[in-house]
Structures are given as C-alpha cells and as structure tokens.
Amino acid sequence: MVDVSIVAPVYNEEENVPLLCKALHDTLSPLNRTYEIILVDDGSSDSSWEKLCEGANTYPHIQLIRFRRNFGQTAAMSAGFKASDGDVVITMDADLQNDPADIPMLLERSDKGIDVVSGWRKDRKDAFINRKLPSIIANALISRITGVHLHDYGCTLKAYKREVVEGLHLYGEMHRFIPAIASWVGATLDEVPVNHRARQFGTTKYGISRTFRVILDLMTVKFLLRYSTHPIQMFGKVGAFFGIPGLLILATLIGGNIAYFFGHGPIAAELVSMSKRPMWVITPFMLVLFFLQFISMGLLAEIQIRTYHESQDKPIYVIKEKYASPPAA
C-alpha cells in the first residue's frame, strides 16, 4: 500500500510524455509520501510507448500498462484503478493541460476527509465555441439530471479515496460521471479551482461524436443512479403514460355503448358513433399494447439486473504488456 497513486491515460502523446514524467517526479518526490505513477498507453500509434519506457528508466515509481489497441479513456482509467494501491488515487490527462503542481492541493483537501475532490478549470485555455460552450452546456445538463452539481465534470484532474475506486465498474464514457456515482453511494464531494494550460504538443482527442456518446452514457448513469435495483419502476412509469389513457378511452367507449343500449341520451349516441371509427378503435388498443410491452421490458430488465449484479468481473480492455521502473538501489 502506498499513499498516492497517479493514474493517467496516454494516447499519442509522444512529445508530452517526457515532460509529464519529469513534472510528476518533480511534484511528488518532495511530498514526503510514498507514491506510484501508473501510465496507461491506450493503444498509441506513435512512439508514446517507447517514450514511456524511457521515462520509467529515468524516474522511479513508474508503472506502465500497454493496451493491444485503443479501448478509450474510460478503459484506461479502469485499468489504472485496478493496478493502483494508493490510499488516494489521482487521475489526470497526459497532455499537460492539467498542472501536476495542483496535486498537493488535491491531497490537502483529501486529507480533510473529502472522498472525491474534483478539479474545476475555472480559467480554461480552450476555444470557446467548440470546447468551452459545449462543456458548459454538458455540465449543466449532467448536474441537472444526476442531481450532483459540479462546474466541470470533464476535468480529469480529480482525487479519489481508495474505497471510492475499488467498487467501480466503468463502461463507455462513464469515467466523467464517477463523482455522481460516488455521491449516490454516500461519498463526500468537493470542487476546487485548478490551473489549466494550453496544449503545447499533439492534438485533442475530443470531438462531436464523443459528445454524443457522453449524452447516451448520461442516460445510462441516470438509470443506474435511480433504477439500477428496480428497473420495473422506470418501465412501469413509461408504460403507465401510454396505458392509462388507452384504458380510459377504451372504458369510455365501452361505457357509451352500454349506455346507448339502455337508451341514455345524445352523449351515448356520440360515443357509439366514435366507436365505429377505426381511429378510435385502434388507438386505445395500441396504447394498451405499448403499456404491456413496457411492463414486459421492465420484467425482463429485473431479471437482467440480477444477472448483472451476479456476473463475473470481466475487464473492458486487453493488456499487451507491462513495464515498471527498476527498483531503487
């Protein structure tokens, strides 16, 4: 067990890797804490792996994990979490837009008992239209839907207590929703402004397609936070939205025909006339059918959710090789 674990996914960052290794070493070595640096090469196609190995040979306490192909940032973080041993796990990007000098501040907040300390890029050095504006909208949407209000869900620089990351099972783009998932199980959260630097080397890995995937994963997180143990409640509500109007229409038409049979007034006659029109006959039956379909989906989801909770812990990545800094003399 060590005091601090640093986890950073790396994907085609050959120019930034040497600077990252040096900056982390310069920041962590004076802290008087035991630490490890876990860098996960997410299937880079450039010389990032070679640069990582050089960094591990130059600086101590570096562990390297290399994927066989690009599995995505969430998979890289999941592998880093699984390989880590630190009491506190700090995640950050490898592009050096996150400042390693902010790590002591995160540790200070974590030492005060905060389970998740999230960085906030208050003065973000990115283009407004294609980076900052979508981020503002996404953060507001995520905060609204999850009920956990943060200014900057997209900031990778975060500190997690050991017990928070041990039970995580991440998929898709769900690494950014860890604060919301942690809050759901009772973890304490804090958000602190951190330094953000303009990218000097390489190109950004974010795009519109990734934003769309994040929105889809947000729907999954909402489901997991509220209905993960009782999915029938969600499907039942949607089914009721269709089923109740359908049953009311059907009951009204049947009641009108019965009233007309016993000779009760013009309203009954109008209902009988409506019941002879195909639209008024088909619509209630279709709504009731939708109701039955959603209830059936909810029951199947109840069965599936039990399989999910009892299934084997299979990773979402494949490791090609590992490497670590030589032991200190």
Can you give the pLDDT of all 329 residues of the chain as single tens digits? 799 999 999 999 999 999 999 999 999 999 999 999 999 999 999 999 999 999 999 999 999 999 999 988 888 998 999 999 999 999 999 988 889 999 999 999 999 989 999 998 887 776 666 667 777 777 787 788 777 888 888 888 999 999 888 877 776 677 878 888 888 778 899 999 998 877 776 566 555 555 666 666 666 666 666 665 566 666 677 777 777 887 887 777 667 666 655 656 566 566 556 666 666 667 777 888 888 787 777 677 666 765 665 565 556 567 778 888 877 64
pLDDT of residue 134: 73
- Residue 324 maps to a domain: no
Neighbours of 17 (CB within 10 A): 27
Helix, strand, or coil (residue 70): coil
Rounded-to-integer distance, Cα 286 and Cα 20, Å = 60
- Residue 28 maps to a domain: yes
The answer on 101 and 242 residing in a single domain is: no
The pair of three-digit structure tokens given for residue 267, joined into one six-digit string: 């309203």
Range of the domain at 267: 231-310
* Listed residues 203, 228, 253: the one ending a domain: 228
* Listed residues 184, 206, 228: the one ending a domain: 228
pLDDT of residue 284: 75
- CA distance readout (Å), 83 to 134, 189, 225, 228: 33, 24, 26, 27
The answer on 200 and 258 residing in a single domain is: no
- Residue 54 maps to a domain: yes
Q: How would you list the strands of the sheet with 158-161, edge to edge?
A: 189-193, 116-120, 158-161, 86-91, 2-10, 35-41, 62-67, 319-324
The answer on 246 and 107 residing in a single domain is: no
pLDDT of residue 231: 66
The answer on 78 and 145 residing in a single domain is: yes
Phi, psi of 170 (to 5 degrees): -105, 140
The answer on 190 and 92 residing in a single domain is: yes
- Residue 36 maps to a domain: yes
pLDDT of residue 321: 82
**DSSP run (H or E) holding 222:** helix 208-227
The answer on 36 and 149 residing in a single domain is: yes
pLDDT of residue 209: 55
The single-letter DSSP state of residue 132 is I
- Residue 319 maps to a domain: no
* Listed residues 228, 262, 294: the one ending a domain: 228
Rounded-to-integer distance, Cα 134 and Cα 70, Å = 25
The answer on 170 and 291 residing in a single domain is: no
pLDDT of residue 275: 61
Here the CATH number for the domain that contains residue 134 is 3.90.550.10
Say what the pTM is. Answer: 0.71
pLDDT of residue 186: 81
Neighbours of 80 (CB within 10 A): 22
The answer on 58 and 6 residing in a single domain is: yes
- Residue 328 maps to a domain: no
- Are 192 and 119 within 8 A, CB to CB? yes
The answer on 155 and 121 residing in a single domain is: yes
- Residue 105 maps to a domain: yes
pLDDT of residue 145: 77
The answer on 272 and 214 residing in a single domain is: no
Q: How many domains does the chain have?
A: 2
- Residue 318 maps to a domain: no
The answer on 239 and 223 residing in a single domain is: no
The answer on 94 and 216 residing in a single domain is: yes
pLDDT of residue 130: 62
